[in-house]
């Protein structure tokens, strides 16, 4: 039993390859291939756009009776992705491109049209120079003039590059930065001047309004100058204060003198004989005694102030007046 994956096959000694029948295929046979759209196109049936690079399962065949320098030309059949209409295009080995044949129109072929136009102009020029010698001279003159202009432009570019080769870009950037800072500083100064002018104008307007209001209002009295006190004025003030104190003592009495306030209240002496009979005393007789003791304590308290003694003095006078 032979191997499954072998590269060499066994040929018997009596093998004759000429006896093998050849497979005869038609020349216009079609193959199914997988390809991508070579250019942007638009379907003529439904107007669907098919962009470049979209993949199709196409049928490929060889075009009969067409060749370029012995190279065969192939035709491809694809279907629209929307309406399934058949679109055909074929190869163009002369221009290394593809040509639209049927079912769609090609988009964005401006470059190809430009190249075709240049070729057409070049061909017409060659035909014209072939029959007109003066035209040849004119064309040569134009070409030489154009060439001189191109050389001059090229020389200018070289000179410009040489000048730029010695330019210090860091210094240029530094100079630009400084000029930018100066411009910002100048703008800031202008803003400050405008602000100061506006403030000054507002102040002048306010002063004018104040002056108008002062003219309408009555003129205020001139301020009086404060008189400076004389050094001997304190001697004149001392008798006045003494007179005020004397008038107060005459009306009320002295607050700090204890003998005068204590003399106004008479302390009632307790009877030792009656102390034994304190339990038999009626409540009516006991009340005045308690009130007298309260008056005595109110009249003289060791820790009381002068103002409290004055209140006690007024209470004693009221009680004596009622009696």
Exposed e or buried b per residue across 276-306, where buried means at least 16 C-beta atoms within 10 angstroms of its C-beta: eeeeeeeeeeeeeeeeeeebbebbeeeeeee
Q: Is 43 annotated as a binding residue?
A: yes
Run of H or E residues at 110: helix 110-131
Q: Is 46 annotated as a binding residue?
A: yes
Distances 241 to 89, 182, 192, 230, 271 between C-alpha atoms, Å: 134, 78, 65, 18, 49
Give the list of residues 6+ apart from residue 307 with CB closer than 8 angstroms, or none: 255
Q: Is 169 annotated as a binding residue?
A: no
Q: How many CB atoms lie within 10 A of CB 317?
A: 12
Q: Is the separation of the CB atoms in 102 and 48 below 8 Å?
A: no
At residue 56, the 3 state secondary structure works out as strand
Structure tokens at 61: 């065949």
Q: Is 6 annotated as a binding residue?
A: no
Structure tokens at 117: 């136009």
Cα angle 264, 267, 270 (rounded to 5 degrees) comes to: 170
Q: Is the separation of the CB atoms in 59 and 119 below 8 Å?
A: no
Q: How many CA atoms lie within 13 A of 170 on its CB side?
A: 0
> Residues annotated in the binding site, as ranges?
43, 46, 80, 83
> Residues annotated in the binding site for Zn(2+), as ranges?
43, 46, 80, 83
């Amino acid at each position: 039993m032979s191997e499954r994956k072998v590269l060499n096959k066994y040929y018997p000694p009596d093998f004759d390859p000429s006896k093998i029948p050849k497979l005869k295929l038609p020349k216009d046979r079609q193959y199914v291939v997988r390809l991508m759209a070579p250019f942007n196109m638009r379907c003529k049936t439904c107007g669907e756009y098919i962009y470049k690079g979209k993949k199709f399962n196409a049928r490929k065949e060889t075009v009969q009776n067409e060749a370029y320098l012995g190279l065969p030309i192939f035709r491809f059949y694809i279907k629209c992705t929307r309406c399934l209409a058949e679109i055909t295009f074929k190869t163009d080995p002369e221009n290394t491109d593809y040509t639209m044949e049927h079912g769609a129109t090609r988009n964005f072929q401006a470059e190809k049209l430009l190249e075709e136009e240049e070729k057409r102009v070049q061909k017409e020029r060659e035909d014209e120079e072939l029959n007109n010698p003066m035209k040849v001279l004119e064309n040569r003159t134009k070409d030489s003039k154009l060439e001189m202009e191109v050389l001059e432009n090229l020389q200018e570019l070289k000179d410009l590059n040489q000048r730029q080769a010695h330019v210090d870009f860091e210094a240029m950037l530094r100079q630009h930065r400084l000029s930018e800072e100066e411009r910002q500083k100048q703008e800031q100064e202008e803003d400050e001047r405008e602000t100061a002018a506006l403030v000054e104008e507002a102040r002048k307007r306010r002063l004018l309004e104040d002056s108008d209001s002062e003219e309408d209002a009555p003129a205020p009295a001139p301020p009086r100058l404060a008189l400076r006190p004389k050094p001997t004025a304190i001697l004149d003030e001392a008798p006045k204060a003494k007179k005020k104190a004397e008038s107060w003592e005459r009306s009320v009495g002295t607050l700090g003198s204890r003998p005068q306030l204590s003399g106004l209240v008479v302390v009632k002496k307790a009877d030792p004989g009656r102390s034994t009979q304190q339990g038999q005393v009626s409540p009516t007789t006991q009340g005045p005694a308690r009130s007298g003791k309260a008056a005595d304590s109110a009249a003289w308290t060791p820790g009381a102030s002068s103002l409290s003694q004055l209140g006690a003095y007024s209470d004693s006078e009221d009680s004596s007046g009622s009696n």
